[in-house]
Amino acid sequence: MKELFYNLKFAWIYAKDQKKRLIAYLFTNFVHIVISIVVPLLSARIIVNLTENAYLQVIVITFVLFGVETMRNVVSYLTRYFSSKIYRETFIKIQSDLGREILRLENNCIDQHSSGVFIQRLTNDTSRIADVFNVLNIYLTNIITNIGIFGAIFIINKIVFITLIFMVFIIYLVESRRVRVMTEKDKSFRKKNEKISGFIGELVRGIRDIKMLSAEESFMNELEGKVKDLNQERYQMVKTDNQYSFFRGTLLDVTDVIIILLLVYFIYFNELTIASALVVHNYMGRVTSIIDYFSILLEKLKDFNLSSSRIFSIIESSEFPKEQFGTKHLEKVEGNFEFKMYPFSMKRKRKCSIILVFMCMQMKR
């Protein structure tokens, strides 16, 4: 949690200029929450009125529900509009700032790392950081919107409520484990993806030399091996995710069966009306949505923390040392300057030899 707050503070540096849009964005989401609370209440009322043969009330509530849903569509449009604006401006600032930091790196550091390291972090990781506030708002809003369902179920039947909370807690433990495992696999996948991105970049830049040397086959063999390794890593990630998803889906199905059996039991002993049981059953889909939203939120936050650490390593880590310049600046210099036998060296790529050059230069003013 401490790491998350630190990373959010870093992301806020780039998003704070969008305060007005953020306020408008939060306001539209607040309206969306209110609408999402009202809609299930109206839907539940329709079910109750249908069971009581109150058809006129059903018609009236239907038109009211239509108006509320139309308002929700308008609010959703505004929310997406502000979200895209915030993302665009934040993304530009993060990318520009990281680009400047990369240009400050020492030449030896650039030589030690493939171009894929910088390309992936400059494109993919910055995108994840720029989107974090939208992600937080979207999934937290959906969770808060649907959390009132637990209160409604508590009022209807406390035993059903306790059973539901217990099953949700078990599913949460499974999802937390899945996110931890997937994060570790994602770290490995991103490192391999950086390597292959760098290799492809070098391949494209040196394509003329490769063709001239008739070395296409050896390079293609190398590329094929790297691609296979990367896709095997991706396959293992998907396999692991599918295993946890299967287990979670099974737990959700078991939860549905247990809740239905409880509802039938209470109806049979006249401790619950059919209308109330229908409302609880209707809410079960929303409970599943809460679990899904929470799982995605955990995954997005882990992804955000991983991307932040990868960008911090370029900005702050000693792994990527920066060039150091003097602090003194001469505003006005007069006189003549002369460099006698000033040596510098450069490496020839093809022959791997070093050329040492001595230069003499005079500057007169």
pLDDT at residue 151 tops 90 = no
Please check the confidence at residue 356 and state whether its pLDDT lies above 50.
Answer: no
**pLDDT reading at 35 higher than 90:** no
CA 42 to mean position of chain CA atoms: 34
Q: Say how many domains are in the chain.
A: 1
Residue 161 lies in a domain: yes
- Residue 252 domain-assigned (yes or no): yes
* Weakest mean pLDDT among 148-152, 187-191, 289-293, 356-360: 356-360
What mean pLDDT do residues 61-76 have? 90
Q: What is d(CA 217, CA 219) in angstroms, rounded to the nearest whole number?
A: 5
User: How would residue 74 be classed by pLDDT, with cut points 50, 70 and 90?
Assistant: very high
Residue 341 inside a domain? The answer is: no
DSSP, collapsed to helix, strand or coil, labels residue 211 as: helix
Residue 351, domain member (yes or no): no
pLDDT for position 347: 53
Give yes or no for a contact between 129 and 276, defined as CB atoms under 8 angstroms apart.
no
Match 């609010």 to its residue by tokens: 75
Specify the 3-state DSSP secondary structure of 61.
helix
CB 151 within 8 A of CB 161: no
- Kindly state the average pLDDT of the residues 116-142: 80
Name the range with the highest mean pLDDT among 83-92, 319-328, 336-345: 83-92
> How do residues 213-254 score in pLDDT, each as one tens digit?
777 788 788 888 888 888 888 888 889 989 988 998 899 899
Q: Which pLDDT score is estimated for 353?
A: 47
Whether pLDDT at 47 is above 60? yes
Give the single-character DSSP code of 362: E
Q: Is residue 78 part of a domain?
A: yes
Region 281-303 average pLDDT: 82
The alpha carbon dihedral of 220, 202, 316, 88 has a sign of negative
Query: Does 279 fall in a domain?
Result: yes
pLDDT at 342 over 60: no
CATH number at residue 65: 1.20.1560.10
Q: Is residue 334 part of a domain?
A: no
* Antiparallel, parallel or unpaired: β 353-363 and 337-348: antiparallel
Let me know if residue 356 belongs to a domain: no
User: Percentage of residues in the chain with pLDDT exceeding 70?
Assistant: 88
pLDDT exceeds cutoff 90 at 96: no
Q: Is the pLDDT of residue 291 over 50?
A: yes
CB distance 292 to 162 below 8 Å: no
Q: What is the pLDDT of residue 264?
A: 92
pLDDT bin (cut points 50, 70, 90) of residue 63 is: very high
Residue 353 CA: distances (Å) to CA of 16, 113, 209, 347, 348 = 51, 21, 18, 6, 5
Residue-wise pLDDT for 158-172, tens only, equals 898 899 889 888 988
Instruction: Give the Å distances, CA to CA, from 314 to 5, 32, 300, 307.
Output: 20, 39, 22, 11
Query: In whole angstroms, how far apart are CA 255 and each of 52, 115, 159, 263?
Result: 29, 49, 14, 12
Is residue 355 predicted with pLDDT exceeding 70? no
CA distance 20 to 35: 23
What is the span of the domain harbouring residue 227?
A: 2-315
Q: Are 89 and 25 in contact (CB under 8 A)?
A: no
**pLDDT band at 93, cuts 50/70/90?**
confident
Higher confidence at residue 337 or residue 22? Answer: 22
